[in-house]
Structure 1
Amino acid sequence: MRTATYPDQTRYAWRAGATCLTVPRGAVLLNPPHSEKLTGLGAAQLQILRTLNRGPSTFPELSSAPSDEVAPLLDRLAAGGWLTITVRHDNRDLYTIQPFGIPATQPGIAAATPPKLSKFSVLHRDSADFVLENPMSWCDLRISDPRIVAFLGGLDAAASGLPDDIAARIATDLVWCGFAPAAPADEEQRFATRSWSAPDLWFHRRSTLGQRTVTWDHFGPTKWAKGSYPQPPARKAVYPGAAIELAVPDLTALRATDPTLAAVLEDRRSCRAFDDAAPITGDQLAELLYRTARTREVRPAGEGEELVSRPYPSGGSVYELEFYPVVRHVDGVPQGMYHYDSFDHVLRPVAAADSPEVQRLLRATSATLAEGAEPQLLIVLAARAGRMMWTYEQIAYATILKHVGVVMQTVYLAATAMGLGVCAQGFGDTAAFAQAAGVDELEECSVGSLIVGSPAPH
């Protein structure tokens, strides 16, 4: 009779999206893709289900039958993740368990107080309340009373102002819901849990299908912003200043003379030593950008929408990535940071070579190159995130990073075919980029970078 240990004021309701269809002696619970049949139910238990169908109800309101008839059914419903449970005290809501999956354990396992939250549990605020979430949990915990927040901070019941029985109740629920490990030492010692950081695991779970997300509602290419916000244009606003014209390579000739795909795949290597005596030339930079990043086409796709075509693939043909060549030593191109205008195939000046921000971008490459050398050319990849986020929900940033990987391989293969050296970076100075490019990081942010140049002779 675990549910009987909740305060009598506790309200029970069906989880969001759930439907209960009652028939004589049984019922069917539906919340696609999950379903469950209940058979052999007595009159009192059927009355509980019908009462829940009418709306949230307390334990005493569900049935006048003895608790040993009511509690087992509520326990079964709670164990199947069918119930939203709002714990109340002194006629006020304290917290609500909001399931979106199926519990991994039975409810009611006693826990020590105060609990120790999992390192993956995150408390944040939405428009209504505080919400406690965990990427490994089957539910969210919506917090309506600030004393619960104080209790989560590791304070004892007296310090948080909660009665002892309520403190014990929430401690038990934190373990059942997956917000606090039953054995904290296990989480701290297991390689599988120590190896994941909280943001990485959150990112993984939030950008994939799973218990939390089982339909396309608010997930994927929903175009949620259509009708409320204009789609960010395919073309970024042009930087002022005189553009540097770039040569256009002869693609027909390259089709005939390039090494085979098998050859460039096998010959591709990361290059960390470059030949500054014979640096990459401006024409080579022009060819590399043209082959990998130019805009081949812009086409309308419904009212107020633009789709793009470039040499590399992009989800939904949105193409949010921008290329920023940072030139230190390119024959025929003055030093400085440029934006590659993929529509006009020109370089537009962005920042001076000696600006502190550009120098920080170059210094961030020292750990990548042999003997801390400086790059001949650094290409910073930036995402105009709104291009993706206008169309995609939940998975926008994950998709951006997939595009970065696609671009990196595209540049690697084209550069290998051209006899150039490339080394992708696993990190970069995002703040330095935003300052150098003069952009709001929420609108455009650096998401990757590649070092390019003429490889040092073996």
Structure 2
Amino acid sequence: MKPAASPPDQQSTPTVLLCSLREDALVEQVAGQDAVNVLTRWGEVRIDEPGPAVREALRRMAFGPVSLVNVLAGLRIEGGSAFEAQCRLLSGALNRLQGTVIQTLALTDGEGALLSVVPISGQARFAVTDIDPGRPLRLSRFATLGSGGDEAVLESPLALHRVLLHHGDALLIAAALARPTTIASLARTLGLPDQVVAAVTAHLVATGMVLAGERDRLGGTRFAEDSDPDLLAWADHDLLFHTRSRLGRHDGAYGAVFPQGHRPPYEPAVKPLPPGKRFTLPRPGAPDPAEPTLTELLESRRTPVAPGGAAVTVEQLSELLHRAARVREVHVGGQDESVCSTTDRPYPSTGDLYELELYLVIGNCSGLPRGIYHYDPQGHGLTLINTDEDALAELLDAAMIASGLRQEPPVLLTVTARFGRLSWVYGGMAYATTLKHVGVLLQTVNLVATAMRLTPQAVAFGDSDASARAFGLDWRRESSVGEMVIGPSSSGT
């Protein structure tokens, strides 16, 4: 990142580059020393002997976008070695601060900013190069264009920047790049000046949002991304989800951040019972002392024989739920129980928040009528919420197909998540955490069921809309996130 050595000719250059610091950056003078510290999201950068150009540039960049040419001109440094020395110092400082310097491309005719390139990682590096007007260009298939409130935002999991599209012209250019085109073609189609189109596309290519391709000998277009084996393995939404649920490639808040403030969560610690006929489950006795140990269960684990259509018993189901998923204790802290209550259950959950619920689709269980039930983990009971045979058959048939079974499973256990229970605290990492919890719960159910000589089998996939209809849920608030079928012992014991 190099400041220009002389002001641009605004008659021939319709755009100008402006620089500013991210809002979370803080510039401080080191007491008693000729040095400044720039405190950034990614750490502290100390600049010794910064010189007047660096000091003035950082001071002004903290307030918003500025032209580095104007900063240098305003210092009234005579040309020659002194001026060149200040340029070198400024260039060096900005290079060290690339992870916190926002670059804004603006129009010189006073029509405002076109776009801003915002670093989202301390490792972000940005360099614009000229692009041949006839070279093929296209948006990356991983790039997403969305609303950032008052303006459009272009993001990609492959990029360490996001692009704010301030101006309608920049938005038109970005949208037109959804299919292969060239700078020259874009300028003709959109009726925009060649230099404006070239500047915008060059910035988008520099971020990685837009790909520069090559012509092959047959007249076609090749983009490296389309044949990269490491990228071919990823669906675009999966790669975005991966990068947004871990640190390193985004600048969003992470951890227990309470994104909506310390108000009561959408969901209480234990879900209120839905309306329906109540079935109190028998409390199980002590586990069979002849059960295998945890090590024996893990070492002998094999893909189970498919659950048959024979019935399980209500006593078996009761013991399975009691040992794997009941509420052992409710903890209340502080004065506001709705905010501070947590629970203790046999499987772990981040922050003891326990956002998961269990629904049972009973096809064949001695002691319980066919139907769809919600499990009450605190009172250890079932509530019959749906007896519609079509809904029952839809879920059991889908589970049979997804599990590779030849007959309807006796019991389908569906795990749902009350999303607000976790996102109230954890924001952007909430859903990834929920999926981890699903694995933990299903493994717990699997081990307990196997120890009880039942036949559990995870279901490869489920239909969230079908389960929401059957369970009477708003899928945006609570939705299915995992399934398992439970059958009797394959040996009949």
The TM-score normalised by the length of structure 1 is 0.89
* Aligned match for 1:170, one of 196, 200, 208: 200
2:278 is equivalent to residue 243 of structure 1: yes
Contact 1:329/1:376 (<8 A) preserved: yes
Secondary structure of 2:366 counterpart: coil
Question: How do residues 173-184 of structure 1 correspond to structure 2 at under 5 angstroms?
Answer: 173-183=203-213
Contact 2:65/2:104 (<8 A) preserved: no
Q: 1:58 to 1:362 in 2, by over 3 A?
A: same
Q: Which runs of 5+ in 1 are unaligned?
A: none
**1:118 aligned partner:** 140
| Alignment deviations for residues 47-102 of structure 1 (CA, whole Å, 9 cap, x no partner) | 43444345431244212166977766358626723321221113212111111224
Contact 2:157/2:249 (<8 A) preserved: no
Query: How many pairs align?
Result: 451
Q: 1:54 to 1:417 in 2, by over 3 A?
A: closer
* Aligned match for 2:171, one of 129, 149, 152: 149
**1:298 aligned partner:** 330
**1:138 aligned partner:** 160
**1:18 aligned partner:** 25
The alpha-carbon deviation at position 15 of structure 1 amounts to 2.2
2:379 is equivalent to residue 338 of structure 1: no
| Alignment deviations for residues 171-196 of structure 1 (CA, whole Å, 9 cap, x no partner) | 11112112123456221111111111
Deviates more, 1:64-73 or 1:94-103: 64-73
CA distance in 2, matches of 1:181, 1:103: 21
Contact 2:307/2:456 (<8 A) preserved: no
The alpha-carbon deviation at position 32 of structure 1 amounts to 4.5
The TM-score normalised by the length of structure 2 is 0.83
2:462 is equivalent to residue 428 of structure 1: yes
Secondary structure of 1:366 counterpart: helix
Deviates more, 1:308-317 or 1:6-15: 6-15
Secondary structure of 1:208 counterpart: coil
CA distance in 1, matches of 2:123, 2:319: 56
**1:107 aligned partner:** 127
**1:376 aligned partner:** 410
Q: 1:105 to 1:48 in 2, by over 3 A?
A: closer
CA distance in 1, matches of 2:232, 2:307: 38
Secondary structure of 2:162 counterpart: strand
Contact 1:379/1:450 (<8 A) preserved: yes
Secondary structure of 1:434 counterpart: helix
Q: 1:272 to 1:426 in 2, by over 3 A?
A: same
**1:190 aligned partner:** 228
* Aligned match for 1:390, one of 424, 433, 447: 424
* Aligned match for 1:264, one of 284, 289, 297: 297
Q: 1:198 to 1:71 in 2, by over 3 A?
A: farther
2:192 is equivalent to residue 159 of structure 1: no
Q: 1:275 to 1:255 in 2, by over 3 A?
A: closer
**1:31 aligned partner:** 40
2:476 is equivalent to residue 442 of structure 1: yes
* Aligned match for 2:449, one of 415, 422, 427: 415
Secondary structure of 1:181 counterpart: strand
Q: 1:226 to 1:52 in 2, by over 3 A?
A: closer
**2:180 aligned partner:** none
**2:237 aligned partner:** 199
Deviates more, 1:24-33 or 1:161-170: 24-33
Letter in 1 for 2:223: A
Contact 2:412/2:484 (<8 A) preserved: yes
**2:150 aligned partner:** 128
| Alignment deviations for residues 138-170 of structure 1 (CA, whole Å, 9 cap, x no partner) | 111111112222211235123334321121112
Contact 1:322/1:382 (<8 A) preserved: yes
**2:342 aligned partner:** 307
Q: 1:229 to 1:182 in 2, by over 3 A?
A: farther
* Aligned match for 1:84, one of 86, 102, 107: 102
Contact 2:360/2:374 (<8 A) preserved: yes
Q: Which runs of 5+ in 2 are unaligned?
A: 178-185, 214-221
The alpha-carbon deviation at position 258 of structure 1 amounts to 2.7
Q: 1:32 to 1:237 in 2, by over 3 A?
A: closer
| Alignment deviations for residues 353-405 of structure 1 (CA, whole Å, 9 cap, x no partner) | 513x3332222223344454321111000001111111112111111111100
**1:273 aligned partner:** 306
CA distance in 1, matches of 2:261, 2:333: 12
CA distance in 2, matches of 1:235, 1:39: 57
**2:219 aligned partner:** none
Secondary structure of 2:427 counterpart: coil
The alpha-carbon deviation at position 223 of structure 1 amounts to 2.9
Contact 2:265/2:420 (<8 A) preserved: no
The alpha-carbon deviation at position 218 of structure 1 amounts to 2.8
Secondary structure of 1:348 counterpart: strand
**1:351 aligned partner:** 386
Q: 1:409 to 1:116 in 2, by over 3 A?
A: same
The alpha-carbon deviation at position 254 of structure 1 amounts to 1.2
Letter in 2 for 1:324: Y
